[in-house]
Structure 1
């Protein structure tokens, strides 16, 4: 995802409110950045439109408020497996034909699954919007993958895991790291699932998940591009409005207990070319934990991770021990998230030196806070990012879908510049002191085999 969209994703909203079922005029009147329109159909489907009439193109996305963290442990990976099966046919559209039809009409389509949501999207000419809405509504209710197709697709998922995870030591390390960070919460399980569990998934498992969660009252329609609000409302009512709402199981997740001790792990692999360090701290999101710190943490991430920010100056520049160093924080998570760091040492330097350098950066931050210059520069960068964020149909649609599916309202997305502008240096320091507690940390090292 483009950096400016990532910046906006981590900077929206301060606290949780529900998405208002506002009328068209009311939705537009409060717009400040994207000028979104929002409404809710009688069956509970939430709709968000970001108009952009520069080209006759639309990005159409259906988001379901369910992801890998909502699975039962014995069917881990079923949300992602179902995502694959959604392309395997209905009584109206044959297996694999959905994407073929979109491509034939000059469009592109795909889907993705995360811990908190699953999304299906098509980028297509605006006069073909009724077609993709009709097909997406069809598979919302009429999914019927043949058993042989489902069996073959499970092998595709297994091969995907093999190529993306099992053959990638960095990805394997990431799984181990997440499992160390989240002892109880399902964020500690991989979205694609653990190998032994994935191999045992069945079509019945996927269809049970589908019938439980895929309903209009558990979905969000986000459209960005060349369509007027009244036209979108008419089309949404025509294609999605007749689908009946259904009872949805409550999102009942085991919450992470307080972390009382720092955790460390070391992984070695003969495929690793150079060692690396990773550190993360359990952190609040917009909707979980001490959410009042979320905006200040977003600003702090910009200060630390800027091209000439604190990490670069202390760890990389001049005689610093690291060849690269970065920080990351994403506040759009339904439950508690993490604030993380990563670094790779320069040739001849040790991971001990890199870790000591990172510790020194954090110690100085916790003692002295940030400067007014750092604060103002971070705000300027985050403000500039929003100027360009409007240019991406895909990025705009992804931003609003992610926000709404993690409990952040459209109004909060629009209001984030004011919230960032209001952040003070004292608030950033308070947020850092809360999050960067050694007891809440996990530190990991990924090493070549010969360094074990």
Structure 2
């Protein structure tokens, strides 16, 4: 990274990529600036790959695959990592599950062994399922059930999507997990957690040729799984504006949300809408913040953001009232700024400001090895196997015009094509 004035300038991310015979896609990035290495595996499976009567499986496996393997005793996975100076975690979205470790670079082989163990022969038994079922239930209580506004995404997506599996969230249904058999869990693993449905992405202080040899040693023997066909479900446009009310016992301050269905992350318009979000609510100098928080003081918080996913996305605006402002007033103020975007081009100064914001954000996201490993895997998984998307993203952002921002606002932020949710304290 180099710096020009106050703007960080991104440098090209070099990488090597290839496939093993079993279909595992491997991406290697060498960076000797620090003696660390990120080892990650991204499986192209998320909640959208689940059966409607067995939701929550992908997120459940995020936990279950830390239980142990034929060669790692139950409960030892995390201990092995921490005792060797490493850190590990995983996360699940609607579209993928991402496992990762960050190690001192002399523990690269250990990281590869752990991930190959997870893929080759995890232990999936009744004891592990019971244990992780309780863990998932507690996570749901903490992150959703007892969290203020914790269910807003769930409430929005179940109204925004009628046919697509995005209508449920990755946490899924606890009743579905309770009802599932061990055979169903094993079948889900066999179908989705195979090398041909995964990307192994390694970034850091590595020797490329030595790493290739280690990858071959630990992953070549893993058998190829069945071909995974991703869902291809088309949503019909909303027939009219959906207005609804949700009550939340965890809040004292109400909120209003407005959500629009938009194209998925592969679409250029998805990037255009990200830039639009920066204009509306990207910091204290953004339009909505200055208007509603600073000047009118009728909002404690206001935001607009692109919830981008593989097949579709949701463009969501929200506000929390200040000084007893009505939710309808807040919604009208947000809508007025949307109309302004639909009517007039943003200024050259605003355009340059958001360009700088995106460039700094890009550099920051790729300043750590784990970020590089994930972004390389994202490019291959979600952008038509274009791993180099990591180097093309900024050029795409720079090529987006002010006219495109105006046209995207006209095309997607349409009142009769949205969900409006009044989020109120439970009585």
Which position in structure 2 is the counterpart of 1:212? 191
Selected match of 2:395 from 418, 421, 430: 418
Secondary structure in 2 matching 1:410: coil
CA spacing shift, 1:197–1:169, aligned 2, 3 Å: farther
Aligned pairs (5 A) from 1:234-245? 234-245=213-224
Between 170-179 and 52-61, the greater mean CA deviation after superposition: 170-179
Using the TM superposition, give the Cα deviation of residue 377 of structure 1 relative to its aligned residue in structure 2, in angstroms: 1.5
| Alignment partners' CA distance in 2, 1:244 and 1:323 | 54
| Alignment partners' CA distance in 2, 1:33 and 1:386 | 12
- Cα shift readout 1:77-102 (whole Å, capped 9, x = no counterpart): 11112222212222211112111111
Which position in structure 1 is the counterpart of 2:81? 102
Which position in structure 1 is the counterpart of 2:159? 180
Selected match of 2:66 from 84, 87, 91: 87
Q: Does 1:322 align with 2:299?
A: yes
Q: Does 1:349 align with 2:363?
A: no
Q: CA RMSD in A?
A: 2.0
CA spacing shift, 1:98–1:419, aligned 2, 3 Å: same
Aligned pairs (5 A) from 1:255-294? 255-287=234-266, 291-294=267-270
Contact 1:79 1:206 in 2 (8 A): no
Which position in structure 2 is the counterpart of 1:8? none
Which position in structure 1 is the counterpart of 2:356? 380
Moved over 4 A (4+): none
Which position in structure 1 is the counterpart of 2:287? 310
TM-score (norm 1): 0.87
| Alignment partners' CA distance in 2, 1:387 and 1:143 | 37
RCO higher in structure (CA 8 A, sep ≥6) = 1
Which position in structure 2 is the counterpart of 1:449? 426
Contact 2:160 2:167 in 1 (8 A): yes
Contact 1:69 1:253 in 2 (8 A): no
Q: Does 1:370 align with 2:346?
A: yes
Which position in structure 2 is the counterpart of 1:434? 411
Secondary structure in 2 matching 1:74: coil
Using the TM superposition, give the Cα deviation of residue 52 of structure 1 relative to its aligned residue in structure 2, in angstroms: 2.2
Which position in structure 2 is the counterpart of 1:133? 112
- Cα shift readout 1:229-258 (whole Å, capped 9, x = no counterpart): 222222211111222222223113433222
Which position in structure 2 is the counterpart of 1:398? 374
CA spacing shift, 1:390–1:271, aligned 2, 3 Å: closer
| Alignment partners' CA distance in 2, 1:39 and 1:175 | 38
Using the TM superposition, give the Cα deviation of residue 32 of structure 1 relative to its aligned residue in structure 2, in angstroms: 5.0
- Cα shift readout 1:364-386 (whole Å, capped 9, x = no counterpart): 11111322221122112212333
Structure 1 portions without partners, runs of 5+ = 1-30
Structure 2 portions without partners, runs of 5+ = 1-9
TM-score (norm 2): 0.92
Using the TM superposition, give the Cα deviation of residue 226 of structure 1 relative to its aligned residue in structure 2, in angstroms: 0.8
| Alignment partners' CA distance in 1, 2:244 and 2:78 | 42
Using the TM superposition, give the Cα deviation of residue 330 of structure 1 relative to its aligned residue in structure 2, in angstroms: 4.5
| Alignment partners' CA distance in 1, 2:204 and 2:252 | 44
- Cα shift readout 1:257-288 (whole Å, capped 9, x = no counterpart): 2222111221123331211111111111233x
| Alignment partners' CA distance in 1, 2:289 and 2:98 | 35
Using the TM superposition, give the Cα deviation of residue 433 of structure 1 relative to its aligned residue in structure 2, in angstroms: 1.0
Which position in structure 1 is the counterpart of 2:314? 338
| Alignment partners' CA distance in 2, 1:350 and 1:122 | 47
Number of residue pairs matched? 417
CA spacing shift, 1:150–1:449, aligned 2, 3 Å: closer
